[in-house]
Amino acid sequence: MKMQGTAALVTGGGSGLGEATARELARLGAKVAVLDLNLDNAQRVAKDIGGSAHVCNVSDADSMQAAIDAAAAVHGPARILAHIAGIGTAKRVIGKDGNAAALEDFMKVIQVNLIGTYNASRLFAAAAAKLEPLTDGERGVMVWTASVAAFDGQVGQQAYSASKAGVAGMTLPMARDLAQHGIRVCTIAPGLFATPLMKTLPEPVQQSLAASIPFPSRLGKPEEFAELAAHIIHNTHLNGEVIRLDGALRMAPR
């Protein structure tokens, strides 16, 4: 799909990997709507890239639909969804006090990461399926975000790993389901990246994490994630695939 002049939605676009992706798509000529729960962050990015900003809770049906509609009113119907919004926690099943972890904590991560991905995708796909097909029959493309934790989650990552494994597992059946409508689906599973959240860790911890990556032995750059997202959008034959972007990292148990 050509990026120039095409309307795109980027969830979680106000910071980190989402911000980098919003900036890259805009640089390539897309009309970018920055969707984020933090409207201030979304507005900051949108102002820089000449896009629009919309507050959005991806796990809430009405909020997600309202954001899609508001973005369409500014840029026209979207053919691109880069779904990057997500949260992460780490809690052991049995705490130091001997009590079981709170079920609500597990449910929240699943709600945002897995159900939020499905919610955003179903609403985007329903709108994109009504568009006229492009010359190759394509109507839309979605790029989702999983994590290497989907495959080698660490101690305490039960909720996060389960949610991201769900995203990875949903990729192929969603691509098969939407093939009849000319809508592609791919997922990126990033490893350790230099996001604002990562940068809150002490420098020695960051260096230790970077050293665990075989090559290149450094944290991933958000721009590298964004470049892969852009390539997936551009390369029409990429469909139904989960791509690890991790420098050959395999996470240790802890």
- Reported as a single tens digit per residue, the pLDDT across 97-108 is 999 999 999 999
Residue 153 lies in a domain: yes
Give me the residues of the chain with pLDDT under 70, please: none
The confidence score (pLDDT) of residue 196 equals 83
Cα maximum dimension of the chain = 61
pLDDT at residue 184 in the model:
98
Which residue of the set 106, 124, 144, 160 is catalytic?
160
What is the reported pLDDT for 88? 86
Give pLDDT, residue 37. 97
Structural domain contains residue 201: no
Q: What is the pLDDT of residue 202?
A: 84
Please state the separation of Cα 213 from the chain's center in Å: 22
Identify the pLDDT of residue 231.
98
Per-residue pLDDT, 192: 93
Residue among 125, 106, 61, 57 nearest 86 (CA): 57
- Indicate whether 149 belongs to any domain: yes
Match 């493309």 to its residue by tokens: 141
Q: Identify the pLDDT of residue 253.
A: 86
**Residue 133 belongs to domain with CATH number:** 3.40.50.720
Q: Does 216 fall in a domain?
A: no
Domain contains 164: yes
Instruction: Indicate the number of domains in the chain.
Output: 1
Q: Is residue 206 in some structural domain?
A: no
Whether 205 is covered by a domain: the verdict is no
pLDDT of residue 254: 83
Whole-number pLDDT of residue 89: 83
User: Which tokens sit at 28?
Assistant: 């390539």
Give the pLDDT score at 77.
98
- Give domain status of residue 57, yes or no: yes
Annotation says 160 is catalytic: yes
Q: Which domain holds residue 113?
A: 7-193+223-244
